[in-house]
């Protein structure tokens, strides 16, 4: 796949290898957001169906691109909202002494909601320590037991891009009858997710990274058995008959079907949802498999070069294709992120690893600039 830089508004002197921090908006998303702002200036043109149509389009596109049925998707504003929704739905199944399993150095959004319900239900949050082998999958499976009721994971560790095989973990969860909650923020849209095989009870993704969404729009997929659970909030837009504004004073006790009850309130007639729709359409046009091939080619090139320069790079077998973290050589005492930023080259540091996360807007010139800069900085 050729570089898609022209689809983004990225200046020529910027080499951005930091999509895991936040993706730049597509030009198409910018245009639709601007159009949405213009529509908000003329509210008399808004009709009741406008409160629902964009969310329904997102559900349909998400199911076509990512798997599952459209009714299973809810529109949420953040990963923390989605995880909190899952925690609200699952808290009743926790008893004193039960465990909620998380990974070491997991992102706070997939830890803090579990800490709260663990405290309230007298359960415990059990942290799987970082495996020295790099094999997170086996380390997680080894910690499962009948005491573990909820397993809250990602399939790509956010600090360094380490891969977690959720299909194997799902099999182990079935054996121990654990509920599986997945935060796929750092992978959804940039690597395939086998939803039908993983069968997560809840799947959450903030959209502003690999889904290329505007900030404040994300996805929550809810498996069929949990679609009748109590939502995080009681939105009138999630109730049957909500499209009949004249009858809203006749309060409905019936939710709309599927996962719509879990939608965040005031998501509709939003200036941002059209931008998310444009992003889903573009990712579908490119194809996730094509995106993966492009990003893996870049990262393999970077990882090989870094390893030759003395960086400690995760084994390819344990590395996600779209992002990875590397530990700088022991003799280097500077700040690589800061030094690269001076040259308009952008990466991140998470934990003890510098993180490289390109996307299809990166071209060969970007890669060459990065490699040459590293050669200059780390001698």
Sheet with 99-103, strands from edge to edge, namely 73-76, 218-222, 202-206, 179-183, 148-153, 99-103, 124-128
Mean pLDDT, range 309-315, rounded to an integer? 92
Maximal C-alpha separation, the chain: 72
Which of 285, 312, 347 is a domain's end point? 285
Q: pLDDT > 70: what percent of the chain?
A: 99
CATH code (residue 247): 3.40.640.10
In a domain, 22, yes or no: no
Handedness of CA 350, 356, 361, 363 (dihedral sign): positive
CATH code (residue 323): 3.90.1150.10
Tens digit of pLDDT for each residue in 194-214? 999 999 999 999 999 999 999
pLDDT on residue 271: 85
Handedness of CA 314, 354, 182, 211 (dihedral sign): negative
| Same domain flag for 135 and 33 | yes
| Same domain flag for 69 and 133 | yes
In a domain, 170, yes or no: yes
| Same domain flag for 350 and 242 | no
pLDDT on residue 268: 66
Tens digit of pLDDT for each residue in 140-195? 999 999 999 999 999 999 988 999 999 999 999 999 999 999 999 999 999 999 99
pLDDT on residue 245: 87
In a domain, 86, yes or no: yes
Q: Is the pLDDT of residue 269 over 70?
A: no
For residue 254, what are the domain limits? 29-285
Confidence of residue 266 (pLDDT cuts 50, 70, 90): confident
Tens digit of pLDDT for each residue in 33-65? 999 988 888 889 888 888 899 999 999 999 999
Confidence of residue 362 (pLDDT cuts 50, 70, 90): very high
What is the domain count for the chain? 2
Q: What is the pTM of this model?
A: 0.95
CB-based contact 92:86 (threshold 8 Å): no
Q: Is the pLDDT of residue 265 over 80?
A: yes
Confidence of residue 1 (pLDDT cuts 50, 70, 90): confident
Which of 262, 285, 308 is a domain's end point? 285
| Same domain flag for 159 and 128 | yes
| Same domain flag for 85 and 156 | yes
Which of 268, 285, 302 is a domain's end point? 285
108, with CB counted inside 10 A (0-12, 13-18, 19+), is: exposed
The CB density around residue 218, as the number of other CB atoms within 10 Å, is 26
| Same domain flag for 126 and 9 | no
| Same domain flag for 279 and 220 | yes
In a domain, 23, yes or no: no
In a domain, 197, yes or no: yes
Mean pLDDT, range 58-87, rounded to an integer? 97
In a domain, 216, yes or no: yes
| Same domain flag for 261 and 347 | no
């Amino acid at each position: 796949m050729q570089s898609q830089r022209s689809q983004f508004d990225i200046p020529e002197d910027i080499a951005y290898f930091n999509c895991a921090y936040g993706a730049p908006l597509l030009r198409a998303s910018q245009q639709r957001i601007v159009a949405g702002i213009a529509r908000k200036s003329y509210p008399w043109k808004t009709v009741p169906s406008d409160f629902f149509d964009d969310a329904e389009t997102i559900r349909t596109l998400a199911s076509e691109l990512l798997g599952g049925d459209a009714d299973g998707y809810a529109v949420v504003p953040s990963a923390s909202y989605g995880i909190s929704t899952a925690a609200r739905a699952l808290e009743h199944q926790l008893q004193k002494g039960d465990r909620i399993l998380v990974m070491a150095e997991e992102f706070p959004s997939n830890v803090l909601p579990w800490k709260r319900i663990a405290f309230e239900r007298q359960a415990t949050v059990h942290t799987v320590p970082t495996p020295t082998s790099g094999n997170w999958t086996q380390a997680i499976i080894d910690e499962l037991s009948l005491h573990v009721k909820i397993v809250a994971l990602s399939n790509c560790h956010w600090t360094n891009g380490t891969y977690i095989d959720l299909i194997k973990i799902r099999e182990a969860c079935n054996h121990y009858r654990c509920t599986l909650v997945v935060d796929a923020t750092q992978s959804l849209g940039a690597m395939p997710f086998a939803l039908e095989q993983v069968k997560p009870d809840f799947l959450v993704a903030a959209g502003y990274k690999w889904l290329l969404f505007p900030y404040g729009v994300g996805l929550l997929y809810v498996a069929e058995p949990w679609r009748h659970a109590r939502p995080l909030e009681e939105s009138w837009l999630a109730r049957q008959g909500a499209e009949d504004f004249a009858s809203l004073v006749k309060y409905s006790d019936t939710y709309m079907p599927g996962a719509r009850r879990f939608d965040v309130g005031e998501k509709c007639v939003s200036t941002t949802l059209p931008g998310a729709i444009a992003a889903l359409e573009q990712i579908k046009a490119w194809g996730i498999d094509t995106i993966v091939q492009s990003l893996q080619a870049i990262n393999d090139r970077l990882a090989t070069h870094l390893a030759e320069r003395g960086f400690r790079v995760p084994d390819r077998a344990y590395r996600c294709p779209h992002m990875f973290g590397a530990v700088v050589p022991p003799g280097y005492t500077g700040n690589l992120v800061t030094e690269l930023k001076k040259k308009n080259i952008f990466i991140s540091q998470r934990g003890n690893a510098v993180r490289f996360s390109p996307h299809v807007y990166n071209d060969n010139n970007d890669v060459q600039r990065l490699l040459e800069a590293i050669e200059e900085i780390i001698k």
